[in-house]
Amino acid sequence: MSLGYAQKLSYREDVGTVGMSEIFDPPDLLQQKIEELALMIKKSKHLVAFTGAGISTSSGIPDFRGPKGVWTLQRAGKGLPEASLPFHRAMPSLTHMALVDLERAGILKFVISQNVDSLHLRSGIPREKLAELHGNSFREVCPACGIEYIRDFEVETIGMKETSRRCSDTKCGAKLKDSVLDWEDALPPKEMNSAEKHCRTADLVLCLGTSLQITPACNLPLKCIRNGGMIVIVNLQPTPKDKKASLVIHGLVDKVIAGVMNFLRLRIPPYIRIDFAQLSLSHSPKKNTYVKWTLRITSIHGPRAPLAFLKSVEISFPERPDLKAAFLDKQPFHLKRETARKRPFKMLLTFHFCDGCSCPSTSVEWPIDFQVTKGSFVQDKDEVLRSLKNAAGEASHGGQYAALEAKFLPRCNEGTNGNTTSEKRFKLT
């Protein structure tokens, strides 16, 4: 949950019950329930996860109704709680990544989320296996052709309003809209239909970190009961649906899920984040002895979009001491220089990552030759991302870099690169 999202919501007096005391099952009872849940998951043929804000609190994102939740503090006349990380840098929790492993193992069939933090997508849950009932603060949608755009920055509006960007499809070009619901907005039919379908099919719906108070979303898990399915609720506070559940566990979601994964002897994959930047070097086409050029480092989402992961860029020329180095600490990152046309050189760019990145920086070497006026290469994106993640996993830290594509044109050289900026590992014991 974004604090910005909470502030953007229309005011509403009645937000339901907030600030209830948290309940913790005794250790022996908790372990007994964890093992019972693990066996239920093992036997399940169609497991659906139904998630709320409680699975993201360990990611540094405050919830709504807990003792220090946003609505709890607002009702008490207090200020909003502080997030421990910038919203766009929040990393998936142990629970998020455990769900990824369950999905990859074929055990988890579908995820229904009331969260707008995009952490399920960041963790690796496929979009076609995810219903985001209340939207996604990082997703824009084209109302004309339906294309979705997942951003690495928080979209500035809520309530399905027009944003400042347009559809990139040359046959469309319509103004994009945000995908986050305000109080009076109806749940999106596409998301709701998928959620209802899977809840009706489910033999087990696992409710994680949700108060089950917001209608109509809170009634979705109940749809499995008609066909003999069961509901399990893992939450620190009582919910209105507890009496309908086959099992209620009062414990930290991460602790419960870690216990389940340990019992089932399943691993929790590490989270490795890759961010992208567009490099562009434009220059004059005239065949003069010296050439004026401009370097631009921009977002892959467009030249006006923020580069949310970059704090500053150092630029040096290791083989050319005659060229002055530069330090760019304000966006847009632009550098202008004049050099001899026939003399190639190498540019060393050191990207310093913003607060919230677990890796401080990485360096990229870019050879420049103005004599080369055509050519290109494009690498398989999935393969590049897989290699980057493997390299980060083996090194146990981020900072790896790889080029995805490059174009050499008469007046411009362009390239797109991926950088591992964050890495998070999880222990079951």
CATH number of the domain encompassing residue 242: 3.40.50.1220
User: Would you please indicate which residues are annotated as catalytic (active-site) residues?
Assistant: 134
Last residue of a domain, one of 232, 264, 296: 264
- Same domain? For 219 and 287 the reply is no
Q: List, for residues 65-121, the tens digit of each pLDDT value.
A: 555 655 555 655 666 666 667 889 999 999 999 999 999 999 999 999 999 999 999
Question: How many Cβ atoms are within 10 Å of 268's Cβ, its own excluded?
Answer: 22
CA-closest candidate to residue 248, choices 264, 260, 263, 230:
230
Which of the four pLDDT bands, split at 50, 70 and 90, describes residue 1?
very low
Query: Is 144 domain-assigned?
Result: no
Place of tokens 């026939």: 342
Residue 315, H or E segment: strand 310-316
What average pLDDT score do residues 43-61 get?
95
Q: List, for residues 293-330, the tens digit of each pLDDT value.
A: 999 999 999 988 999 999 999 999 998 888 999 999 99
Sheet holding 401-408, edge to edge: 333-340, 290-298, 271-283, 412-424, 401-408, 375-378
Better pLDDT: 17 or 403? 403
CA-to-CA distance for 41 and 260, rounded, in angstroms? 9
Which residues constitute the domain of residue 60? Answer: 3-137+180-264
- Same domain? For 351 and 366 the reply is yes
172 annotated ligand binder:
yes
Percent of the chain residues past pLDDT 70, beyond the cut: 90
The pTM of this model reads 0.91
How many Cα atoms sit within 13 Å of 87 on the Cβ side?
A: 20
Number of domains the chain is built from: 2
What average pLDDT score do residues 366-385 get?
87
Query: Is 165 domain-assigned?
Result: no
Query: Is 175 domain-assigned?
Result: no
Q: What mean pLDDT value characterizes the chain? A: 90
- Same domain? For 244 and 303 the reply is no
- Same domain? For 316 and 244 the reply is no
Query: Is 40 domain-assigned?
Result: yes
User: How open is the CA angle 383-384-389, to the nearest 5 degrees?
Assistant: 100
pLDDT at residue 19 tops 60: no
User: How open is the CA angle 18-22-27, to the nearest 5 degrees?
Assistant: 160
What average pLDDT score do residues 413-423 get?
94
Which of the four pLDDT bands, split at 50, 70 and 90, describes residue 2?
very low
pLDDT at res. 343 = 84
Last residue of a domain, one of 209, 244, 264: 264
357 annotated ligand binder:
no
145 annotated ligand binder:
yes
pLDDT at residue 410 tops 90: no
Query: 3-state DSSP call for residue 39?
Result: helix
Q: List, for residues 274-299, the tens digit of each pLDDT value.
A: 999 999 999 987 778 889 999 999 99
Query: Is 151 domain-assigned?
Result: no
What average pLDDT score do residues 350-355 get?
95
Place of tokens 């069939």: 109
- Same domain? For 354 and 376 the reply is yes
Backbone angles phi, psi at 420, to 5 degrees: -80, 115
Which of the four pLDDT bands, split at 50, 70 and 90, describes residue 14?
low
- Same domain? For 228 and 328 the reply is no
CA-to-CA distance for 149 and 168, rounded, in angstroms? 10
- Same domain? For 206 and 307 the reply is no
- Which residues, other chains included, contact 90 with Cβ-Cβ below 8 Å and sequence gap of 6+? 56, 59, 60, 61, 83, 117, 119, 356
- Same domain? For 298 and 205 the reply is no
pLDDT at res. 183 = 76
- Same domain? For 200 and 185 the reply is yes
- Which of 5-9, 154-158, 195-199, 371-375 bottoms out in mean pLDDT, i.e. has the lowest? 5-9
CA-closest candidate to residue 290, choices 186, 370, 196:
370
- Same domain? For 328 and 203 the reply is no
Q: List the CATH number of the domain containing 400.
A: 2.60.40.1970
Last residue of a domain, one of 240, 264, 288: 264
CA-to-CA distance for 305 and 66, rounded, in angstroms? 35
What distance, in Å, lies between the first and last C-alpha atoms of the chain? 28
* 51 alpha-carbon distance from chain centroid: 15
pLDDT at residue 26 tops 90: yes
Say which amino acid occupies 44. Answer: S
pLDDT at res. 369 = 86
